[in-house]
Copies of this chain bind each other. A is one copy, B any other.
Amino acid sequence: MTYCVAMKLDLGLIYMSDTRTNAGLDNISTFCKMKTWEKQGDRVITLLSAGNLATTQAVVGILEELNHTYSQSLHENRTTLFTAETLFQIATLIGQIVKDTIRNIAPGQQNADAFSASFILGGQIKGDVPRLFFIYPEGNFIEATKDTPFFQIGEHKYGKPIIVRAYNPAMSFEEATKLLLVSFDSTLRSNLSVGLPFDLLIYKEDTYVKGIQKRIEKNDPYYTNISDLWSDALKKAFLQLPPFYF
């Protein structure tokens, strides 16, 4: 499993992803699930992935291959991460690659569902606002709006209630990081297949350059502290609710 979140804020975009990959409970590895491409002054594009690692790596690999053949792409007028004019075009491109990748491998396999993968695509291309897309394994996608300004992929249930309640588009990147850490903590406590370290990235609107990028390691003192305090805070909040009487 996996847990990744991307949120739209008034200030820009924020992303967090865990790094645990597992093939069964006895085969755990660490893989970064966040990939960022940057052309300073022009675009910053981030992709979060959940699902089959071979599928997600194939998708990123094909995107990179397209970038390497950049000049031909320009010549052939083929869309790449760096030639696309909008994030919508990139979502379409990635959707097509995901669908093709799964269609190439899944049919006829014993466990055809095992090859599935979902993605969150975010970023800003000059001339457009920051945008966020959720790309399905079927290749189609949806875009975040004011009503639904964040996307989660992977194990989204445990960590959702606090985001729903505490999210506020006007929050600072620091507050949003705190919120994501609490959401990740709730997920980590209930699902063994989500694990530290976490990758964090912020993108400040109209900068066209990667913002702060940070890896939150296993013994990160702030995270450890938040994790303990949140447990106590929940218990205290519960005790302070009015008592029930039969």
* Interface pair A243/B178, CB less than 8 Å apart: yes
A238 CB contacts on chain B under 8 angstroms: 162, 165-166, 178-179, 182, 233
* Interface pair B226/A242, CB less than 8 Å apart: yes
A162 CB contacts on chain B under 8 angstroms: 234, 238
Question: How close is A238's CB to chain B, nearest CB, in angstroms?
Answer: 5
Within 8 Å of chain B (Cβ to Cβ): is A190? yes
Expressed in whole angstroms, the Cα–Cα distance for A212 and B245 within the complex equals: 11
Q: Which of B158, B178, B235, B243 contacts A157 (CB 8 A)?
A: B158
* Interface pair B161/A186, CB less than 8 Å apart: yes
Question: How close is A190's CB to chain B, nearest CB, in angstroms?
Answer: 6
Stoichiometry, as copies per complex, reads 2
Instruction: Please tell me the number of chain A residues within 8 Å of chain B, measured between CB atoms.
Output: 41
Residues facing B in A1-41 (CB within 8 A) are none
In the complex, the chain B residue whose C-beta lies closest to that of A186 is: B161
A75 CB contacts on chain B under 8 angstroms: none
A230 CB contacts on chain B under 8 angstroms: 237, 241
Name the segment of A58-66, A80-88, A113-121, A169-177 touching the other chain: A169-177
* Interface pair A174/B234, CB less than 8 Å apart: no
Q: Which of B177, B236, B244 contacts A174 (CB 8 A)?
A: B244
Residues facing B in A199-246 (CB within 8 A) are 212, 214, 222, 225-226, 229-231, 233-246
Known: A175-B243, A214-B246. 15 other contacts (CB 8 A): A157-B157, A157-B158, A161-B190, A166-B239, A174-B245, A174-B246, A175-B244, A177-B244, A178-B238, A178-B243, A178-B244, A212-B246, A226-B241, A230-B241, A234-B234
6 nearest A-B pairs in the assembled complex, by CB-CB distance = A233-B237, A157-B157, A178-B244, A166-B238, A237-B237, A177-B244
Query: Could you pull out 11 A-B pairs where Cβ atoms are within 8 angstroms?
Result: A158-B160, A161-B161, A161-B234, A162-B238, A166-B235, A166-B238, A178-B244, A181-B244, A182-B238, A212-B246, A226-B244
